Chain A
Amino acid sequence: MASRRVSSLLSRSSSLFSLRGKDSFMNRGTRRYSNLAASLEDTITPPVKVQHTQLLINGKFVDSASGKTFPTLDPRTGEVIAQVSEGDVEDVNRAVVAARKAFDEGPWPRMTAYERSKILFRFADLIEKHNDEIAALETWDNGKPYEQSAKIEVPMLARVFRYYAGWADKIHGMTVPGDGSHHVQTLHEPIGVAGQIIPWNFPLLMLSWKLGPALACGNTVVLKTAEQTPLSALLVGRLLHEAGLPEGVVNIVSGFGPTAGAAIASHMDIDKVAFTGSTDVGKIILELASKSNLKAVTLELGGKSPFIVCEDADVDQAVELAHFALFFNQGQCCCAGSRTFVHERVYDEFVEKAKARAMNRVVGDPFKSGIEQGPQVDSEQFKKILKYIRHGVDSGATLQAGGDRLGSKGYYIQPTVFSDVKDDMLIAKDEIFGPVQTILKFKDLDEVIARANNSRYGLAAGVFTQNLDTANRLMRALRVGSVWINCFDVFDATIPFGGYKMSGIGREKGIYSLNNYLQVKAVVTAIKNPAWL
């Protein structure tokens, strides 16, 4: 049920208000996480085998040049799932050579766009065919609820590829009016070899946001997965080749940021790098690009997104949506609504109900049905979140719910709610990337606009109101790349996503993402005796 709730929230905003999970969070008397203990006792065996652990270079699975491997861990237990080939500079070089050759001499950019679109459509069919297997691998490696993987994320992976398959044969340059007797046209050419570095929180969706437009435009790619979650991309990479992708077009290098990631960002033969991850690493990527070959850079980085509950809000609905905005995916979303601004008129009721909702959140083995929250992805994140929780307590915020780990193994954290949070507290400024809701009080719109914008980030915002003027004002005043009104985390393939300020450079998804993977060439031809200009 929980996952169905999440699923409908993600797939379309209009279904939000049919949810009303009142009985799931109105049980205010509950002070203990009654659903938790049982689900943590036994670890469910994932219904999938790991088939691929090597690097995927030039259409073949190969060991890393060094022969080294690294363990990828099960976040439910911290145990090793598999040893994965560890790519480094030499492997990135091999992958770039393959991608370069596939771009400079191979069929991919030379076939018709309609042919490319058919391969991408076939790939989407194969994803659907292998849905459950892919989803199980994703959950095993990442810890997110299996129902979320199987019913939302893997279908959305196919959805994004279908969307970009449809773009492949509709990428238009323009003919342009000139000031003189010139015929002017713009050609939208593929940019070349793209380096793509993706994060661990949505391994496959991030892969689709990056590969989809890159491939539709006719580029070739070297993709580095996050070291926490290398497995699902390798399976999907195999399916891409089964769909008919020529060798060398997509190369997947598993490995670490400082080695493989840095090699991509600083490579002289990569024409473009796209990165999703933390703002600190984004800065390094940009620096490496500037120091090497000035490759084009798009970045999708951190956030501290406001979720603004206005005074006219239906509190029950607002609580449910704000809860989803923060806790979805264990709070591991760059656009998480991590600053919940609530109007003073509804503040007390909101805090009370938000606390009750958090305490009713169903945390447990992500393979278990009905689970809303699994473990955090790894020990590092787990420790970082607990540290922020301590900061919250030490700085005087009121801990309403949670505040500690859950169980004795794996990386589970109690859904945590702070109220009375002040703007200058660390938990209101830094990206925590975990299940920690921070609730702040505001009086009027001018004030909340100023406070919401008082952040180095500018990724997203949620607005909860029935008032048209309030909605119209906030949507324009908030300095963020996405505004969700009476909904949150609506991630349709068609909707562009990206950040203002230090949340990033560029937009992904939608038609806008194509620009990241195209060069615009202006062709000017002198003409004689034009019939018109």
Chain B
Amino acid sequence: MKNGKCNGGATAELPEIKFTKLFINGQFLDAASGKTFETIDPRNGEVIAKIAAGDKEDVDLAVNAARHAFDHGPWPRMTGFERARIINKYTDLIEQNIEELAALDAVDGGKLFQMGKIGDIPAAAGHFRYYAGAADKIHGETLRMTRPSLFGYTLKEPIGVVGHIIPWNFPSIMFAMKVAPALAAGCTMVVKPAEQTPLSALFYAHLSKEAGFPDGVINVVTGFGSTAGAAIASHMDIDKVSFTGSTDVGRKIMQAAATSNLKKVSLELGGKSPLLIFDDADVNKAAELALLGCFYNKGEICVASSRVFIQEGIYDKVVEKMLEKAKEWTVGDPFDSSSRQGPQVDKKQYEKVLSYIEHGKNEGATLLTGGNTIGDKGYYIEPTIFADVTEDMKIYKEEIFGPVMSLMKFKTIEEGIKCANNTKYGLAAGIVSQNIDVINTVSRSIKAGVIWVNCYFAFDLDSPYGGYKMSGNCRESGMDALDSYLQVKSIAMPLHNSPWM
């Protein structure tokens, strides 16, 4: 299927939905209220399954289980290596179920099935294997005390019960990115997946039981943000909450933490990330990176390069190439291996993206391509590119979270830096240039947590990731992520007759 048309037909066998209930203390349970909610196939708007709707009472139950597992259970009392063995087993099980997990994310989130098989699920497994290897490498330090007769050292202790609230755009990777380091640190947890994409999280819960995690270490409560999510953020017995999602909700999480027990908060929020293409860039490569950066995962990615700045000397050539390539950016059923873009995750997002496209038109941006919906069912939107976008326009300032690119022209390096930083966000940025001075100057000047030079989405297990400014306050991935799940305890005691200080 080519740009502009949608075949709509499913091409792969849909997975059987085996798990629809809450996972608490090692058991699948109905919600205390007995309520359920529908999870929808974004290809056609049809109901896939009814899922237990967790609320405050269920969160309480899950927190009790996690609390007990942390305060009295074996998990934090095992050696790091013993934890690693179980996490490694879990990884093996995930790798054995790649196909099914990828299908669940595809049907639930409209994500490309092929990409799930080669990208998302192996990456999720990779996070678990990486942190299995980290579980026995959490080092405190012995200290060089400045007072004459003191001996001191630090212990890195697990922080306790963690609440994880994860988004719907990368259900598997976000689950792994949060759960894996918390497990390695020795924490127990309550995970709330997004209401749009609860299916894979429940499958991961099932695998956790098989891997041998003690009951109560991993609990999964499916439900909505305003109920289950709020109950986690304001819970008095949760020691830390980790949230990935929109900046608006991030603010609420922090408020709930502030008005409850001052639990530690880590937030990974929205972005309006710039991609800067300089005059010396390879045109073909630059065009490809711009498209990938903005349209990958249908633009539903917090680091999307939704503001593309092109230096004036190369502007026309890059735009021409980009439009040529956009024609080959096929939109279609995520189970069709020729599709590069599936449907938006749900009706609400779909309508929001379309409203931004209208804003762009109304505010005077030039629509170069796209701008329409595709087909007559499901939530498909054409890859859309606006030129002549100015800094006062909504589509320049706000996170659209859809396949909508804003193109701007700049003259000097200084101007490019200024434009890139002209945002309340600071999550990621891309730079395309072969000039070493340009790269070094720009990469230090942009206020963002991740800089990709001549590449984009260069995520890596070992590479920390997170935002400046209103894009968040933590780092995930890499060894830095462990800090979110550890307390530092300093121990000091008198020291007598030491031969050295």
Contact = CB atoms under 8 A, between A and B. Distances in A.
B493 A163 contact: no
Interface stretch (B226-234, B440-448, B467-475): B440-448
B496 A170 contact: no
Given A166-B132, A170-B479, A527 B441 contact: yes
Interface in B81-137: 81, 84, 88, 126, 129-130, 132-137
B441 A121 contact: no
A472 B149 CA distance: 11
A159 B81 contact: yes
A529 to B, nearest CB: 5
Contacts of A162: 81, 84, 133
Given A114-B461, A532-B444, A476 B136 contact: no
Interface string B309-334: 00000000000000000000000000
A167 B81 contact: no
B108 to A, nearest CB: 28
Interface in B408-442: 417, 436-437, 440-441
A169 B437 contact: no
A528 B498 contact: no
A54 to B, nearest CB: 34
A18 interface: no
A335 to B, nearest CB: 21
B497 interface: yes
B133 A166 contact: yes
A511 B126 CA distance: 22
Interface string A454-471: 000000000000001100
Contact of A527 (B132, B134, B437, B497): B437
Contact of A169 (B88, B133, B136, B497): B133
A525 interface: yes
Nearest to A113: B462
Interface size class of A (residues with CB under 8 A): 20 to 34
B253 to A, nearest CB: 30
B139 interface: yes
Contacts of A20: none
A183 B439 CA distance: 11
Nearest to B447: A531
B461 A166 contact: no
Interface in B472-501: 479, 493-500
B151 interface: yes
A276 interface: no
Interface in A317-336: none
Nearest to B495: A472
A499 B440 CA distance: 43
Contacts of A528: 437, 440-441
A530 B445 CA distance: 7
Contacts of B479: 170, 172
A121 B126 CA distance: 13
B65 to A, nearest CB: 27
A117 B126 CA distance: 11
A169 B151 contact: no
B393 to A, nearest CB: 27
B25 to A, nearest CB: 28
B81 A530 contact: no
Contact of A163 (B81, B497, B499): B81
Interface string A144-183: 0000000000000001001101111110100000000001
Of B134, B136, B479, B495, which is in contact with the most chain A CB atoms at under 10 Å from its CB?
Answer: B136
A529 B441 contact: yes
Interface string A473-490: 100110000000000000
Interface in B292-350: none
A169 B440 contact: no
Interface string A27-60: 0000000000000000000000000000000000
A377 to B, nearest CB: 30
A494 interface: yes
Contact of A114 (B126, B436, B496, B500): B126
A117 B496 contact: no
A215 interface: no
B137 A525 contact: no
A209 to B, nearest CB: 16
Contact of B137 (A166, A473, A532): A166
B436 A525 contact: yes
A289 to B, nearest CB: 31
B461 A473 contact: no
A473 B333 CA distance: 70
A113 B133 CA distance: 12
A176 to B, nearest CB: 14
Contacts of B133: 117, 162, 165-170
A493 interface: yes
A170 B440 contact: no
A527 B444 contact: yes
A166 B136 contact: yes
A476 B142 CA distance: 12
Given A114-B461, A472-B496, A473-B498, A530 B137 contact: no
Given A163-B81, A183-B440, A472 B493 contact: yes
Contacts of A113: 462
Contacts of A121: 88, 129
B440 A494 contact: no
B440 A525 contact: yes
A531 B444 contact: yes
A114 B137 CA distance: 16
Interface string B62-91: 000000000000000001110010001000
A477 to B, nearest CB: 5
Interface in A111-133: 113-114, 117-118, 121
A530 B441 contact: yes
A511 B139 contact: yes
Given A114-B126, A114-B461, A162-B84, A477 B498 contact: yes
A297 B29 CA distance: 60
Contacts of A168: 133
B338 to A, nearest CB: 29
Of A118, A169, A468, A469, which is in contact with the most chain B CB atoms at under 10 Å from its CB?
Answer: A169
B495 A167 contact: no
Contact of A476 (B134, B445, B498): B498
A468 B84 contact: no
A118 B259 CA distance: 45
Contacts of B496: 469, 472-473
A208 to B, nearest CB: 14
Contacts of B444: 183, 527, 530-532
Nearest to A120: B133
Nearest to A445: B497
Contacts of B132: 166
B445 A531 contact: yes
Interface string B136-153: 110100000000000100
Contacts of B500: 476
Given A114-B461, A473-B498, A476-B498, A170 B441 contact: no
Contacts of A525: 436, 440
Nearest to A469: B496
B461 A163 contact: no
Given A159-B81, A169-B461, A494-B137, 12 more contacts: A118-B129, A162-B133, A166-B132, A169-B133, A170-B462, A172-B462, A183-B444, A468-B493, A476-B499, A493-B81, A528-B441, A529-B441
19 contacts: A114-B461, A117-B133, A169-B133, A169-B461, A170-B134, A170-B137, A472-B151, A472-B496, A472-B498, A476-B495, A476-B498, A494-B80, A494-B137, A525-B436, A527-B441, A529-B445, A530-B444, A531-B417, A532-B444
The 3 closest A-B pairs by CB, nearest first: A166-B133, A531-B445, A527-B440
Interface of B: 79-81, 84, 88, 126, 129-130, 132-137, 139, 151, 417, 436-437, 440-441, 444-445, 461-462, 479, 493-500
Interface of A: 12, 113-114, 117-118, 121, 159, 162-163, 165-170, 172, 183, 468-469, 472-473, 476-477, 493-494, 511, 525, 527-532
